[in-house]
Structure 1
Amino acid sequence: METNAYITFLVLATLLVVVDGQIIYRSGRRYLENSYGDPAAGASMTRLVTVLFHLAVLGVLALLSTIDSGGDNATEAVVWKLGITLIVLAIAHGVTLTVLARIRDNQVAERALNPQHPPQQRTAEPTVAPVPGQQGVDPRVSPSLEHRDPYSA
């Protein structure tokens, strides 16, 4: 492969990887911000996954650029290598989406198992009268039905 064709391939393939990485980052950020309680955490996790995507695909691209396409024509060689690059890019895109979906599923499950309630504003007066037999404005357990006492184990 001649130098101009080699540089053309590297520029086009790198451009494809960067564009796909930006699509993954922008869409993944919105996707994960909804599953995390903190939007900054979702953006941070998406950034980490996107950097991994870029490094892996650009590494494969560098290896692919050294393989001889076997074509006599420089244009055929560039097209052949770009085709292989697009297939590799599609596989990497699918793997990245799977990773993002798994991260989101784990976060949704974690929030369901450990709900984090925002801190409640305490008022001077209770909004609900305490249960008879319990002290304080925020009783934690209901009294037992038999004894009208606070529940004890």
Structure 2
Amino acid sequence: MSTNAYLAFLLIGALLVVADGQIIYRSGRRYLENSYGDPAAGASMSRLVTVLFHLATLGVLALVSTINIGGDLPSIIARVGVLLLILALAHAITLGALARIRGEQEVEAVVQRGGRQRVEPEQQVTTVTPVQSQDGRYPDVSPSLEQHPPYTTP
């Protein structure tokens, strides 16, 4: 692969990695800030995850650039294809890390609040008037319709 093709692949790859990293950073920051945790902590965690994403994918870009595939243009296209697949995998892993961080923030917020307060059930109020033949506040069943007209059965 010629020097121009090599540089073109590195430039295209670096632009893809930086663009995807910025999307992850901005979206991840909002995602973590909207959780129950501290907004500053959410931005900080998002920054750390994004730096890890950039380092890992730029390292993969450097490794993919050294693979000898063949001619100039087909070589660049094949390498960009491999890089896009690896970038998609790295993106999915990063989203999983952000989701895990958010889940941990939500659990921590619930623990700090003391968990949910137990709500005592309110006194049940009868919404229907009991049938005459049944005593008590809470009737179990209504009388059979078969025993009273017009539904009597022979």
TM-score tier by shorter-chain length is 0.7 to 0.9
Measured on the aligned residues, the alpha-carbon RMSD in Å equals 1.1
1:67 aligns with 2:54: no
Give the residue type in structure 1 aligned to 2:2.
Answer: E
Q: Looking at both structures, which has the greater relative contact order when contacts are Cα pairs under 8 Å and sequence separation is at least 6?
A: 2
Of residues 68, 80, 83, the one that matches 2:81 is 83
Which residue is 2:50 aligned to? 50
Deviation string, structure 1 residues 96-145 (Cα, Å, up to 9, x no partner): 000000000011011112218xxxxxxxxxxxxxxxxxxxxxxxxxxxxx
Q: What pairs with 1:105-124 in structure 2 (closer than 5 Å)?
A: 105-115=103-113
Q: Which runs of 5+ in 1 are unaligned?
A: 117-153
Larger Rg belongs to: 2
Give the residue type in structure 2 aligned to 1:14.
Answer: A
User: Per-residue deviation at 1:40?
Assistant: 1.3
Structure 1 outlier segments of 4+, above 3 Å:
none
Deviation string, structure 1 residues 12-71 (Cα, Å, up to 9, x no partner): 0000000000000000000000125321111010000000000000001101100101x2
TM-score, normalised to structure 1's length?
0.72
Q: Equivalents in 2 of 1:98, 1:67: separation in Å? A: 29
SS in structure 2 at match of 1:114: helix
Of residues 95, 98, 105, the one that matches 2:96 is 98
Q: Equivalents in 2 of 1:84, 1:18: separation in Å? A: 17
Q: Equivalents in 1 of 2:2, 2:36: separation in Å? A: 49
Cα distance change, pair 107–113 in 1 and its aligned pair in 2 (3 A):
same
User: Per-residue deviation at 1:78?
Assistant: 0.2
TM-score, normalised to structure 2's length?
0.72
- When structure 1 is superposed on structure 2, of 38-47 and 19-28 the one drifting more is 38-47
